[in-house]
């Protein structure tokens, strides 16, 4: 597993200290399974464990993509509500599943405090649900529900870049979680939103997968009606 990870040095935008966090060598990953809600399971390691960065000094937490991106207002909120409570903890070593879960919960706490977009919050909940799925915890369902609510609202209320991969992926995930929960009619409506979006033509694999899942949901819906 050691060869799958390497250290990356990160500068904390809040306390300005450097710290290291593990990163996964994505070229070495071997796919074990692709699940219907787009979770990809890899052999030997779960890259989702390293998706969230946590500064050991001050506790500032975020996903890698937006970590450095903190506004003065958010810094102030963080200083007032989190920083003074933070007890030094280091997530810079290979993470256990419990540690990975802790990092996601910290990321969620901060996302809620900073009133981050629902699309961002929904995606954190989705990934956390996938980690719970790995350990067969019934918390999976709880976080899938949070993901569903946030992603559905983000699609309807937030200005996701129109006709983007994010927009169609969000609709697909909403469809698929609905189907998992047995809301077949809702699921069918959301698969249709994916298939009706013109950008789907550039994403052949997702298009085929959506058609396939639409048929599955339709079958389940018909079966339920006649039962
Ligand atoms: Zn810091």
> What pLDDT, on a 0 to 100 scale, did the predictor assign at position 162?
65
pLDDT tens track for 178-224: 999 999 999 999 999 999 999 999 999 999 999 999 999 999 999 99
CA 30–ligand 1 middle distance (angstroms): 34
pLDDT tens track for 147-164: 999 999 999 988 777 667
CA 180–ligand 1 middle distance (angstroms): 39
CB 155 within 8 A of CB 175: no
pLDDT at 171 over 90: yes
Rounded Cα distance between 118 and 125, Å, is 10
Q: Which of the four pLDDT bands, split at 50, 70 and 90, describes residue 227? A: confident
CA 102–ligand 1 middle distance (angstroms): 17
Q: Which of the four pLDDT bands, split at 50, 70 and 90, describes residue 165? A: confident
pLDDT at 170 over 80: yes
CA 118–ligand 1 middle distance (angstroms): 25
Kindly list the domain boundaries of the chain, sorted by start residue.
1-111, 160-227
CATH architecture of the domain formed by 160-227: Up-down Bundle (1.20)
Q: What is the mean pLDDT of residues 15-21?
A: 97
Q: What is the mean pLDDT of residues 119-126?
A: 96
Q: Which of the four pLDDT bands, split at 50, 70 and 90, describes residue 20? A: very high
pLDDT tens track for 75-97: 999 999 999 999 999 999 999 99
Rounded Cα distance between 187 and 193, Å, is 10
Q: What is the mean pLDDT of residues 116-125?
A: 95
CA 5–ligand 1 middle distance (angstroms): 22
Alpha-carbon distances of 94 from 2, 16, 54, 139, 218, rounded to whole Å: 8, 23, 13, 23, 43
Q: What is the mean pLDDT of residues 25-42?
A: 95
CA 77–ligand 1 middle distance (angstroms): 14
Rounded Cα distance between 22 and 87, Å, is 21
Rounded Cα distance between 130 and 141, Å, is 10
The rounded mean pLDDT for the chain is 95
Nearest to 1 by CA among 31, 45, 42, 43: 45
CA 8–ligand 1 middle distance (angstroms): 15
Q: Which of the four pLDDT bands, split at 50, 70 and 90, describes residue 1? A: low
């Amino acid at each position: 597993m050691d060869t799958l990870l390497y250290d990356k040095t990160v500068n904390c935008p809040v306390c300005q200290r450097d710290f290291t966090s593990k990163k996964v060598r994505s070229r070495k990953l071997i796919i074990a399974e692709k699940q219907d809600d787009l979770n990809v399971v890899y052999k030997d390691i779960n890259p989702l464990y390293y998706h969230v960065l946590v500064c050991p000094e001050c506790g500032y937490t975020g996903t890698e993509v937006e970590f450095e991106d903190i506004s003065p207002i958010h810094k102030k909120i963080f200083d007032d509500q989190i920083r003074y409570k933070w007890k030094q903890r280091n997530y810079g070593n290979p993470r256990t599943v419990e540690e990975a879960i802790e990092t996601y919960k910290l990321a969620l706490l901060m996302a809620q405090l900073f009133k981050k977009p629902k699309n961002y919050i929904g995606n954190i909940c989705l990934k956390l649900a996938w980690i719970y799925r790995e350990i067969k915890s019934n918390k999976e369902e709880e976080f899938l529900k949070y993901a569903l609510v946030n992603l559905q609202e983000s699609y309807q209320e937030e200005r996701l870049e129109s006709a983007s991969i994010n927009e169609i992926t969000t609709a697909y995930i909403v469809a698929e979680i609905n189907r998992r929960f047995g809301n077949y009619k809702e699921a069918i409506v959301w698969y249709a939103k994916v298939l009706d979006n013109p950008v789907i033509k550039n994403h052949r694999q997702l298009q085929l997968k959506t058609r396939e899942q639409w048929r599955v949901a339709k079958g389940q819906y018909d079966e339920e009606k006649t039962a």
